[in-house]
A = this chain, B = another copy of it.
Amino acid sequence: MTQPSFDTQAFRTALGTFTTGVTIITAEAEDGTQVGVTANSFNSVSLDPPLVLWSLAKNAMSLPIFTETKHWNVHVLSAEQEPLSGRFASRGEDKFSGLVLDEGITEAPLLHDCTARFQCRTAFAHDGGDHIIFIGEVLAFDQSELPPLVFQSGQYALAARKPWEGVNLSSAEVPIECSYSEDLLGYLLGRAHFQMFNKMQDLLTKQELNDKQFFTLSVLCINDNLTLDEINAHIDYTGRSVTEDEMAQLTGRQLLALESNGDKPRYRMTADGREASLHQIAQAKAIEESLIDNLGAGEVMALKLLLKRAINSTDPGLPDLWSAVSEKQ
C-alpha cells in the first residue's frame, strides 16, 4: 500500500475511491448563453451562512461565464438522470436542447427532476491549482424524494444505505464446529427469495395453482404459443419442470388452450389465463411496492442492479425469453 513516485494517473484513481454524488452546475451569461457542467467536486462548507463549493478546471470553456456571472445553480442529480450527467460532461454544443427549465430566483438555468437544487451567488473564488474553487452563498434550495445518483471509482452507482440500528438477522454467535454463518450469500439469497415468494403463495393457493403452474403462466404471458418442451426450457433454471398432468389441469380449467395442428401440441393463454396472470403480476408489484416503502426507492434500485449483475455472472446460458419475443414480432 505504498506509492513511491508521484503518478498523476494513480493519483486520479486514488481520489476516485472517495465516493461522491453527481451534480450539474449551470449559469447564464449576460448575452443569454447558457452553460452547464457535470461536477462531482461539489461539497457543503457552512450552515450559517449557508455556503457550498465546487471546482471548475481553468481550461473549461465555460470558465469565463462562471467567472463573469455571480449566479449559478447546483443540481444534485437523481439516479434517473445518469444520461443528463453524460450530456453535461461532454463538450457538446446544445446541452440544454429539449430540456424544460423551471423558473429560478436568478437567471441561471434551473433543471428539474433532481434530488436537490441549490441556487447560489458566488461569495468567493479561489485559486486551486489547475482549477478555480467557487464558494457560493445559497440563496434558495429545494429537495425531492428521488434517490440520488452516486459516482465511485469512475463508475455510476447507487447507494445501499445501512440503517443506524444495524441489520442483523440474529444476535447469536454461530457454534465453532459449524462454518455456516447468516452472512453466507447463498443463504441470504434463498431466504429473501422464499420469503418474498411466500407472499405470492397466498394468491397461488387461492388460485389453486402450484409454483410450476405459476411459472408456466408467466412464461406464456411473455411468450405465448409454446410446446411443453419449450416451456420447460424456460423454467429449467428453477430446477423444476412442469408435467403433462399439471398442464392438463390448466387446460381443463380453461386457463390455457391446447393447439395441436400436425406438429407438437402448443399451449396458448386464454382470456381467463391472462386474467389469472394479471393478478399474479399485480401481487408481485404490490410485494415490490411494500419493499420500496420499507427499504427506500434507491435501495430497491440498487438491489435490482446487483441481482442483475449476479444473474449475468452466473448465467448458465438460459434461453432468452424476451428476445424470443422480439424475433417473433
Contact = CB atoms under 8 A, between A and B. Distances in A.
A150 to B, nearest CB: 5
Interface stretch (A26-34, A64-72, A248-256, A319-327): A319-327
Interface in A192-221: 192-201, 211, 218, 221
Contact of A43 (B20, B192, B305, B309): B20
A171 B327 CA distance: 11
Interface in A282-296: 284-285, 287-288, 290-291, 294-295
Give chain A's interface secondary structure class.
mixed
Nearest to A128: B45
Nearest to A141: B14
Contact of A130 (B6, B47, B320): B47
A250 to B, nearest CB: 17
Given A197-B190, A198-B237, A303-B310, A18 B2 contact: no
A225 B164 CA distance: 36
A243 interface: no
Chain A interface extent, by class: 35 or more
A314 B192 contact: yes
A163 B154 CA distance: 9
Nearest to A315: B195
Contacts of A326: 171-173
A25 interface: no
Contacts of A307: 185, 188-189, 191-192, 303
Contacts of A182: 322
B43 A41 contact: yes
Interface in A1-59: 1-3, 6, 8, 10-15, 17-21, 23, 40-53, 55
Interface of A: 1-3, 6, 8, 10-15, 17-21, 23, 40-53, 55, 76, 82, 112, 115-118, 124, 126-131, 133, 135, 138, 140-144, 148, 150, 152-153, 155-164, 167-175, 177-180, 182-201, 211, 218, 221-222, 237-239, 274, 277-278, 281, 284-285, 287-288, 290-291, 294-295, 299-300, 302-316, 318, 320-326, 329
